Amino acid sequence: MPSTFSPVPSGLAASPFAAPFAAQLPRILEIIRESGALVMDHWRKPRNIRLKGRIDLVTETDLAVEAFLKDRLKDVVPGATFMAEESATSRTPQGTCWIIDPIDGTTNFAHSLPFVATSVGLWHEGRVVLGVVNAPVLGECFWAVRGGGAFCNGEPLRVSDREPLEQAVVATGFPYTISEDVDTVLARLRKALVTTRGVRRCGAAAIDLAFVASGRFDAFYEADLKPWDTAAGWLLVEEAGGCVTGFDGAPYDFTNEGILASNGRVHEAMRAVLAL
């Protein structure tokens, strides 16, 4: 398997436009590389799965990767707190806070589907300033620092320039509350299917957002996501030149009904699709 990491572009940490903690990026990437090796070790073994809800799964890998990241990252930014999926008691980050999804795409992982990622965002002074989405099975690591651009395996990312919406490929996901919200989900999906070139579903929001940042998808929308699903990918899209809002166009801040991320060119058209 090819390495998922390339050297950090020279001069990034010294850039006057880069966010606080950019200097720690190489260390953060190394820690996340090691967590990816843990994911791959578990990938080759039988899964130990339990239910958190009717269709919401957790595996021993989720727990092991979360524990590993919390242990290793705690000394990178002294005093930073953690909001991690399997142990979070709040969905509102405060101060300086690591926002972690150890395995985004747990259902994919449980079924040996390769769209699996670890998402790590660093929240500071009211915004995400650093984000990493590592997809070890795919062999790709996406990362960004605020003011420093977005990258995949060390290569710079840029959102697509595709428009109009009828030429766009759009990604979406379905909430764990699908049985209660199926009518709303299907109403939006129907509009997306007939107004775009196609709709895709990876089953991992962090990967969907990374694919928007890389220009593979032209837009992504999903309702009822949590901060650990979107923190890192949100920054990736913005640093790659894209746009991220709520469904109604309001600034995205983890409290919106849903997230809409796009290349910017199809954003207003997608807002119309999502309006009910």
Burial class (CB in 10 A: 0-12, 13-18, 19+), 137: buried
The active-site residue, picked from 62, 66, 85, 208, is 85
Q: Which residues contact 145 (CB under 8 A, 6 or more apart)?
A: 12, 18, 19, 21, 22, 25, 129, 130, 239
Q: Which of 62, 66, 101, 218 is catalytic?
A: 101
d(CA 244, CA 169): 17
Q: In the annotation, is 181 catalytic?
A: no
Burial of 208 (0-12, 13-18, 19+ CB in 10 A): buried
Is 28 noted as a catalytic residue in this protein?
Answer: no
- Active-site position among 62, 140, 208, 229: 229
**SS3 at position 200:** strand
Among the listed residues 4, 59, 61, 106, the single catalytic one is 106
The alpha helices in the chain, defined as continuous H runs, are 25-43, 60-73, 106-110, 178-195, 205-213, 227-239, 267-274
| Catalytic status, residue 101 | yes
Residue of 32, 99, 103, 259 marked catalytic: 103
**CB neighbour class for 145 (10 Å; exposed up to 12, middle 13-18, buried from 19):** buried
Query: Do 28 and 12 touch, CB atoms closer than 8 A?
Result: no
Q: Which of 104, 208, 218, 222 is catalytic?
A: 104
Q: Among this protein's residues, is 85 annotated catalytic?
A: yes
Computed over its alpha carbons, how large is the radius of gyration of the chain?
18
Instruction: With beta carbons less than 8 A apart as the criterion, state whether 116 and 136 touch.
Output: yes
Q: Which residues are known catalytic residues?
A: 85, 101, 103-104, 106, 229
